[in-house]
Amino acid sequence: MIRYLLKQMLGLVPLLFLVSAAAFFLIRLLPVDPATAYLNSINAPVTEESLQLVKEELGLEDPVPVQYVKWLGQVLQGDLGNSYQTKRPVTEELKTDLKYTGILALAALVWVLALSTVFGILSAERANSFWDRLIRGFTFVGAAIPKFWLGFLLVYLFSLKWGVLPVQGATSLSCLVLPSFTLACSYIATYTKLLRNSILEMKNQPFVTYARIRGFTRRQAVWRHVIPNALLPVLTALGLHIGGMLSGAVIVENVFSWPGLGRMCVSAVAARNYPMIQGYILLMAVIFVAANLISDMACAALNPRIRLGGNK
Amino acid sequence: MTGENLLVAEGLSVSMREGETWIPVVYPGDMAIERGGCTGIIGESGCGKSMLCKTLLGLHDPGKWQVRGQVFFDGERVPIEADDRMDAFRGRRMSMILQDPLSAFDPRMTIGAHFLEGCKGKQKALRRREAVEWLGRMYMPEPEAVMKRYPFELSGGMLQRAMIALSLMGEPELLIADEPTTALDSTVQREILWLLARLREERGLSLLLVSHDLKVISRMADWIYVMYAGRIVEQGPVNVLLENPIHPYTKGLFRSRPAYSKERLTVMAGRPPRIGEDTGGGCPFAPRCPQADAACGEGDSKLERADEDHFVRCRHWKGKAGL
Ligand SMILES: Nc1ncnc2c1ncn2[C@@H]1O[C@H](COP(=O)(O)OP(=O)(O)O)[C@@H](O)[C@H]1O
Ligand SMILES: [Mg+2]
């Protein structure tokens, strides 16, 4: 198991290199160079001289490959450079933003786990009933609804019309409700559908029939054999989607002014704040990779076939 | 029939829902299983043998299947139509073992966990001891170690032994064995059959043995039902049937004897009609029957008594005795 893990991690090193290089070179293709953006942001006049001065200060004089090598050298020492705007280290900035995005993603995960299990089980257990139809309607709509639109709709209803939840910000727990649900919605729909199908498929498995044959009641067979086995593929898929959830947070954070990575990233792009963008992309890549690894391991831990197979 | 009947089925039939209509899968038929005996069902794949077995245990979901007829067990009516009331019968009065032992065990659970399922607290230690004992009775090597294994870690033969032990833990009087050896190779097949025969002798276990393999049935059973396209086409004591099969289908079956083969039984030319397939209202075997004539296309024939306890479903049975 441990050897398997190490092997997986080693294989990911070149991937991270690739992502870092792609990030570095691609953002430099954006129109409007960072020096101009910087001068605009501090309302300074854009002249030949001032541009030259800023470029020197930000280290944008060198050819791009040279800049990359320098940056990479820093990164390997754990330094992602300083933000052009705040002049604070990128690692520090990312840390605070990551905390907020983490809270948002975690809250969304709670929504997803709670609602998709309840909906999925209810829907499969009462297949073709009124509830099943209602839930299937939701999974259809929920998966297709754009996040920004849902976000605005929820704000309109819960904040402006009924005034029960705050419009935006991150000052209290109630601020978390709308953004996390907005982020979770499409995943709830996806996993409800996945779990429903998985349960219906498991019900036809011979081991479920055999449990009935041995005299266990329908309910016992469902809770002991159908649902635990049906949850396996759902949990695996969930692990694979955690990274996607973090990147999906970009839209949600901007709609709700949630001070997380996504909002930071959008403003960093607008300001051509290269070190921040690079840092964000690198961090995302690491999170994606880690989430996949964790889901792999969770899947192995839950599935005796993989767990024991790995030991031999 | 000499002995006393443990199970009697009367007019038992199964139909499958297709939109608004019901398509017959097993046609109304009677059946009896002798106490302490071994009753065999033989027929090509897809002729409704497994359906019939599942019906005896009331395993059909009423939304999709319609079951008609009565089943009596030890003189008592079996509530095959009421799923919740069947729980008292299943596993305790009658149990079943399935064709593919690997898929019959929950892949997340050890063999031991299957034996301990539903046990709480102090019961567990007792049940564990019982389970090891039962596995030992099945001639399972190292039963203690097997308890800790996951299904995929065991061979088909070991799993089949474990399944028999698990099914017999509730001390049922009747064990339905649906193709118990089809998924196994021939030496293991023989061991499992020997085991079942021994359980019958030593514990008085009654068996309903389903197979498409005549070798298996003729070796084990003392009474045979031959099924074709959801109908019982011939029935009688094993020696009578083997010596004097009457129905052309039975004759065909007996002529093609696959020696412990895993493949589908290939008898004669052609194939059985699929469920719901239009057979023109005539005998479903007529298209494949070497002796069919115009009369065979006019209405299905009925099960008729050919001899004392030898029944056959062929309108021309009188002219067809002997191989
Ligand atoms: N779950 C099912 N849904 C629909 N048709 C089925 C199902 N199971 C079996 N059948 C059909 O019912 C018929 C009888 O099947 P079965 O009893 O399994 O045959 P046997 O056990 O004799 O091989 C076959 O034609 C098969 O295709
Ligand atoms: Mg079958």
Q: Which pLDDT tens digit goes with each residue over B242-253?
A: 999 999 999 888
pLDDT for B236: 95
Percent of all residues in chain A with a pLDDT value above 90, rounded to a whole number: 32
Closest ligand to Cα B182 = 2
B275 lines ligand 1 (CB under 6 A): yes
Distance CA A110, CA A112 (A): 5
Q: Calculate how far, in angstroms, residue B64's C-alpha sits from the geometric centre of ligand 2.
A: 18
Stretch A282-309: mean pLDDT: 81
d(CA B131, CA A108): 45
Q: How does residue B203 score in pLDDT terms, banded at 50, 70 and 90? A: very high
Label residue A13 by pLDDT band (50, 70, 90): confident
CA dihedral sign, ordered B60, B61, B67, B70: positive
Task: Specify the pLDDT at position B124.
Answer: 93
- The pLDDT of residue B98 is 95
Q: What is the mean pLDDT of residues B281-302?
A: 84
Q: Cβ(B272) to ligand 1 under 6 A?
A: no
Is B48 close to ligand 1, i.e. is its CB under 6 Å away?
yes
Q: Is B59 in the pocket of ligand 1 (CB under 6 A)?
A: no
Query: Tokens 């690198």 map to which residue?
Result: A282
CB A94 within 8 A of CB A80: yes
pLDDT tens, position by position, A169-187: 777 778 888 999 999 999 9
Q: Which of B88, B95, B118 sits opposite A216 (nearest CB)?
A: B118
Distance from C-alpha of B193 to C-alpha of B178, rounded to nearest angstrom: 12
What's the pLDDT at A1? 67
The predicted pLDDT at position B275 comes to 80
Phi first, then psi: what are they for A304, rounded to 5°?
Answer: -60, -30
Ligand 1: distance of its center to the CA of B286 in Å? 22
Give the phi and the psi of residue A294 in degrees, each rounded to 5. -65, -40
Tokens encoding B64? 């999709």
Phi, psi of A145 (to 5 degrees): -70, 130
What is the arithmetic mean of pLDDT over A243-254? 84
> Is residue B3 within 8 Å of residue B170, measured between CB atoms?
no
Å from A228 to nearest chain B CA? 9
The size of the A-B interface in CB pairs under 8 A is 70
Q: Are B17 and B185 in contact (CB under 8 A)?
A: no
**Which of the pair, A6 or A116, is modelled with greater confidence?**
A116
Q: Give contacts of B117 with chain A, Cβ < 8 Å.
A: 211, 214, 216, 224
Query: Given an 8 Å threshold on Cβ–Cβ distance, is B150 in contact with A308?
Result: yes
Instruction: Place B168 in a pLDDT band, splitting at 50, 70 and 90.
Output: very high
Q: Answer yes or no: is pLDDT of B273 > 80.
A: yes
Which residues in chain A have their CB less than 8 angstroms from residue B53's CB?
Answer: none
Q: Could you read off the pLDDT of A45-104 as tens digits, one per residue?
A: 888 888 888 888 787 878 888 888 888 888 888 888 888 888 889 889 899 999 999 999
Compare all CA atoms of chain B with the CA of A299 and give the residue at the minimum distance: B108
Residues of chain B neighbouring A206 (CB-CB closer than 8 A): 98, 100, 103-104
Beta-bridge partner residues of B304: B312
Q: How far is the CA of A127 from the centre of ligand 1 (A)?
A: 23
Contact indicator for B155, B147 with CB cutoff of 8 Å: no
For residues A183, A185, A190 and A196, what is the CA-based torsion angle, rounded to 10 degrees?
Answer: 140
pLDDT tens digits, A123-180: 999 988 999 999 999 999 998 898 889 988 998 898 888 888 887 777 777 888 899 9
- For residue B51, the ligand closest to its alpha carbon is 1
Give the ipTM of the model, two decimals please: 0.91
Structural domains present in chain A: 90-307 (1.10.3720.10)
Q: Which ligand is nearest to the CA of B42?
A: 1
B279 pLDDT above the threshold of 80 = no
Task: Give per-residue pLDDT as tens, B205-264.
Answer: 999 999 988 889 999 999 999 999 999 999 999 999 999 999 999 988 887 655 545 454
Mutation site, A214, A225, A229, A235, interface B, largest B CB count within 10 A: A214
pLDDT one-digit tens code per residue, B142-154: 999 999 999 999 9
| Predicted TM-score of the model (pTM) | 0.84
Contacts of A217 in chain B (CB under 8 A): 84, 87
Q: Which two tokens stand for residue A92?
A: 């520090």
Pairwise CA distance, residues B47 & B42, whole Å: 9
Cross-chain residue pair A218–B167, CB shorter than 8 Å: no
Mutate to test the interface with B, among A125, A129, A207, A232 (most CBs of B within 10 A): A207
Distance from CA of B28 to the nearest CA of A (A): 24
Q: Which residues of A touch B153 (CB under 8 A)?
A: 308
Quick one: pLDDT at residue B2?
52
Separation CA A252–CA A178 (nearest Å): 9
What pLDDT does residue B257 have?
56
Chain B CA closest to residue A203: B61
Q: Which of A206, A218, A304 sits opposite B104 (nearest CB)?
A: A206
B83/A218 CB distance under 8 A: yes
Q: What pLDDT score was predicted for residue A111?
A: 94
What is the pLDDT, as a whole number, of residue B1? 47
CB contact under 8 A, A215 and B90: yes
Query: Is residue B49 within 6 Å of ligand 1 at its C-beta?
Result: yes
Q: Is B25 helix (H, G, I), strand (E, B) or coil?
A: strand
Q: How far apart are CA B73 and CA B78, in angstroms?
A: 6
B262-276 mean pLDDT: 67
Average model confidence (pLDDT) across chain B: 89
Task: Give the model's pLDDT for residue B323.
Answer: 43
Q: Tell me the average pLDDT across B186-205.
A: 93
Report how far residue B229's alpha carbon sits from residue B272's, in angstroms, rounded to the nearest whole number. 6
CA angle (A238 as vertex; A232, A241 as ends), nearest 5: 150
Which pLDDT value is given to residue A234?
A: 87
Using CA atoms in the order B39, B45, B49, B54, what is the torsion angle rounded to 10 degrees? 130
CA torsion angle A11 A284 A296 A299 (round to 10):
180
Residue A48 pLDDT: 83
Q: Does residue B183 have a pLDDT over 60?
A: yes
The residue with greater pLDDT, A80 or A208, is: A208
- pLDDT given for residue B258 in this prediction: 53
Q: How far is CA A238 from CA A13, A290, A295, in A?
A: 24, 13, 8
Residues of B with CB under 8 A from a CB of A: 57, 59, 83-84, 87-88, 90-92, 95-96, 98, 100, 103-108, 117-118, 150, 152-153, 163, 166-167, 170
- Angle ∠(B55,B59,B162) on CA atoms, nearest 5: 105
Report how far residue B303's alpha carbon sits from residue B30's, in angstroms, rounded to the nearest whole number.
Answer: 10
How large a percentage of chain B has pLDDT more than 90? Answer: 67
The average confidence (pLDDT) of chain A is: 87
Is residue B101 over pLDDT 60? yes
Contact B57 A213 (CB under 8 A): yes
